[in-house]
Chain A
């Protein structure tokens, strides 16, 4: 072999190896995701939840195109009267409200807020809760103490009253509602993640990593976190459900975002119009939508729990 050839192979080899090495983490994530999905698929309820969730996400994304009418538009009957308080019919599958507005459109547009709040809160709770749990569990000692004290204080605050007060204090905008929800919900995730970290910390492979000179943060994020992540996802899915319920409750009490249509707000408008006893359709549709979406979150969370705890899997 001539030196020229040696040199060319020598030049190509490191680049090729580096390229293989660089995306090893992506492939690893892909592989574990595939493994997890294989387990997830076996849980029928979880799959049902996933389908429902995807349906609502699609609904939320394409809402303006799907909704037959503008949700705030007062509609007229062919004979010129206002189409108010009509039970479900072919024209209006979910009926109309007191101002002649189509409830189906309201529900479709309202899905944007529900899905948005749910997904955003879930992501934020996962990020905050997991990090707090990781740091508290890994470092222990004073850091752990302080962080746990903070979570204990958060624990003493009743959920809904706090959300109402926060929203009354700041403006009743959607981001303040999200803020209130996240501020209360991260606590459960942090507690659970911390407990998990405490057990993982003692295992041999962590000791091995430490001995081979890995720094603290590398150990946390490269070794411990991947093992804790499925648990975080469980609580993320659950938080999505709680977030949607809380947003609906806050809107029902009248503190929802005045500019956005949300499912809780639909029920609130019915309550304020004192039409509940008369217009069952007005209340039934948005409520069912909430139930379905929150259910999907709970199903997915429970199915993921089976990935975390193998003893729960169907034998």
Chain B
């Protein structure tokens, strides 16, 4: 909670310091002075900074984020749509990355010392070393432009109208647009759980209960997947918190390249347009997202590991 508070305060001051006066969008120098003052008053920008700060805090608590300078619409409404898009993409990518990473990490530890392990290591690390925007660009180039399997970007084919939430997100077109960005994102995020899983499995494999399972005559595959993997997964969940911070950042790049209308892309665009309320709010929401996801992961870890107790 304190984290959030400090975050919002830092945000407030940072954005007031940003160069570029957004008011030039609204204020025309030809306007008479009284009108200019009226606009200032409307946005509350004529009050002393401390008063603005209090109003800002109060507004945030009430979920009121002001009006966007660029869109001339309430920020909250725009952000709602963007947030859903981002969460959908991010959620699916992280889920895929987690599953793929855990499974491949397990297999790698199982086949320790073989070429498979080294190949897996190199592949995983290579994907982690490739900047997300580059992988996205290459994927677009090969799969969308040259082969034509997937659309070039965006979330929907342009020019469509949707009647409801379900209609908007549960159709085939959406899935078609979703596949490439989510796979690219998943490949990028996959390396970390894979490596951690492998390390953790190597440690778990030396423990007594694994030996016991083998002595019982269980198939190696059962030993690996049913017994060892479950226990080795815990450190991966800890690392999930680390990943989420990076994932949100990575979202920005992937959304930009694929023109996916999400929070990350919106924030960068807002900064470019000097749209204070939009940029501020999106950064805030991203921060809240990261903090809450970390919180959930902590609780998940406490739930999964019976040795951990919380006061």
Contact = CB atoms under 8 A, between A and B. Distances in A.
Interface of A: 45, 149, 152-153, 155-161, 163-165, 168-169, 188, 241, 245, 248-249, 252-254, 264, 267, 271, 276-277, 280, 283-284, 287, 290-292, 294-295, 297-299, 302, 309, 311-312, 314-315
Contact of B133 (A158, A188, A249): A249
Interface string B153-169: 00000000000000000
B125 A152 contact: no
Nearest to A44: B118
A245 B131 contact: yes
Interface string B260-281: 0000100110011000000100
Contacts of A302: 125, 195
Contacts of A161: 248-249, 252, 264, 267-268, 283, 286
B227 interface: no
Nearest to B265: A253
8 contacts: A45-B118, A152-B3, A155-B245, A161-B264, A164-B267, A248-B134, A267-B133, A290-B130
Interface in B234-275: 241-242, 245-246, 248-250, 252-253, 256, 264, 267-268, 271-272
A102 to B, nearest CB: 20
Interface residues of B, number: 55
Nearest to B132: A249
Interface string B26-50: 0000000000000000000000000
Interface string B200-238: 001100100000000000000000000000000000000
Contact of B7 (A45, A149, A156, A271): A156
Interface string B128-156: 11111110011011000100000000000
Contacts of B245: 155-159
A277 B141 contact: yes
A158 B286 contact: yes
Given A158-B287, A299-B125, A283 B138 contact: yes
B46 to A, nearest CB: 23
A156 B203 contact: no
Contacts of A287: 130-131, 134, 137-138
Contact of A267 (B129, B134, B141, B264): B134
Contacts of B138: 283-284, 287
Contacts of A267: 133-134, 137
Contact of A156 (B17, B122, B268, B290): B290
A152 B295 CA distance: 11
5 closest A-B pairs by beta carbon, nearest first, are A160-B249, A294-B129, A159-B249, A287-B134, A158-B248
Nearest to B242: A188
A141 to B, nearest CB: 18
